[in-house]
Chains A and B, each alone.
Chain A
Amino acid sequence: MRRLFDEELADLDSSFTEMGMLVSQTIQKAVQSFVDHDREGARKILENDHQINEREAAIEKKTFEMIALYQPVTTDLREIVTILKAVSVLERMGDQARNIANSTIRVKGTKHIANVEKELGEMGEMVASMVSEVMDYYVKNDALGAEAIADKNSILTQSAAKVRTDSVNGMKEDAELVDSAADYLVIAGYLKRIGDYTTDIAEWIVYKRTGKIIELNPGYNFFI
Chain B
Amino acid sequence: MTDSKQKTILSTRDVHLWYGKKEALHGIDLDFPEKGITALIGPSGSGKSTYLRAINRMHDLEDNVTVTGSFNFNGTDIYAPTTDTVDLRKRIGMVFQQPNPFPFSTYENVAFGLRLAGVKDKAVLDEAVEKALKQASVWDEVKDTLHKSALGLSGGQQQRVSVARVLATSPELLLLDEPTSALDPVSSHNIEETLLKLRDDYAMIIVTHSMSQASRISDRTAFFLSGDLVEVDETKHIFLNPEKKETQDYVSGRFG
**CB atoms of A and B under 8 A apart anywhere in the complex?**
yes
Q: Which positions in A face B, CB cutoff 8 Å?
A: 1, 3, 5, 71-78, 211
Can you report 7 residue pairs joining A to B where beta carbons are below 8 Å apart? Answer: A1-B255, A3-B254, A5-B253, A71-B212, A73-B211, A74-B251, A78-B240
* Contact A1:B256 (CB < 8 A) given known A74-B240, A77-B240, A211-B240: yes
Q: In the docked arrangement, what's the CA distance between A3 and B256, Å?
A: 11
Q: Which B residue sits closest to A6, measured CB to CB?
A: B254
B241 engages A74 (CB within 8 Å): yes
Known: A73-B240, A74-B240, A76-B252. 7 other contacts (CB 8 A): A1-B256, A3-B253, A5-B253, A74-B241, A74-B242, A75-B248, A211-B240
Q: In the docked arrangement, what's the CA distance between A72 and B253, Å?
A: 9
B204-217 vs A, Cβ < 8 Å mask (1 yes, 0 no): 00000001100100
Most chain A beta-carbon contacts within 10 A, residue among B212, B215, B254: B254
Q: Which of B252, B255, B256 is A73 in contact with, Cβ under 8 Å?
A: B252
Q: In the docked arrangement, what's the CA distance between A181 and B248, Å?
A: 55
Q: In the docked arrangement, what's the CA distance between A24 and B248, Å?
A: 34
A211 engages B239 (CB within 8 Å): no
Most chain B beta-carbon contacts within 10 A, residue among A3, A75, A76, A211: A75
* Contact A1:B241 (CB < 8 A) given known A74-B248, A75-B248: no
Q: Which of B212, B239, B255, B256 is A74 in contact with, Cβ under 8 Å?
A: B239
Q: Which B residue sits closest to A71, measured CB to CB?
A: B212
Q: Which positions in B face A, CB cutoff 8 Å?
A: 211-212, 215, 239-242, 248, 251-256
Q: In the docked arrangement, what's the CA distance between A94 and B75, Å?
A: 65
Most chain B beta-carbon contacts within 10 A, residue among A73, A75, A78: A73
Residues of the A chain whose Cβ atoms lie less than 8 Å from the Cβ of B253? 3, 5
Residues of the B chain whose Cβ atoms lie less than 8 Å from the Cβ of A72? 252
Residues of the A chain whose Cβ atoms lie less than 8 Å from the Cβ of B255? 1
Most chain A beta-carbon contacts within 10 A, residue among B211, B239, B251, B252: B252
Residues of the A chain whose Cβ atoms lie less than 8 Å from the Cβ of B242? 74
Q: In the docked arrangement, what's the CA distance between A71 and B251, Å?
A: 11
Q: In the docked arrangement, what's the CA distance between A52 and B239, Å?
A: 33
Residues of the B chain whose Cβ atoms lie less than 8 Å from the Cβ of A3? 253-254
Residues of the A chain whose Cβ atoms lie less than 8 Å from the Cβ of B251? 73-74
Q: In the docked arrangement, what's the CA distance between A1 and B250, Å?
A: 12
Residues of the A chain whose Cβ atoms lie less than 8 Å from the Cβ of B254? 1, 3
Q: In the docked arrangement, what's the CA distance between A5 and B240, Å?
A: 17
Residues of the A chain whose Cβ atoms lie less than 8 Å from the Cβ of B240? 73-74, 77-78, 211
Residues of the A chain whose Cβ atoms lie less than 8 Å from the Cβ of B212? 71
Residues of the B chain whose Cβ atoms lie less than 8 Å from the Cβ of A5? 253
Q: Which A residue sits closest to B251, measured CB to CB?
A: A73
Residues of the B chain whose Cβ atoms lie less than 8 Å from the Cβ of A211? 240-241
Q: Which B residue sits closest to A70, measured CB to CB?
A: B253
Q: In the docked arrangement, what's the CA distance between A73 and B248, Å?
A: 8
Q: In the docked arrangement, what's the CA distance between A78 and B251, Å?
A: 14
Q: Which A residue sits closest to B239, measured CB to CB?
A: A73
Q: Which B residue sits closest to A5, measured CB to CB?
A: B253
Q: In the docked arrangement, what's the CA distance between A78 and B248, Å?
A: 12
Residues of the B chain whose Cβ atoms lie less than 8 Å from the Cβ of A78? 240
Residues of the A chain whose Cβ atoms lie less than 8 Å from the Cβ of B248? 74-75
Q: In the docked arrangement, what's the CA distance between A18 and B167, Å?
A: 58
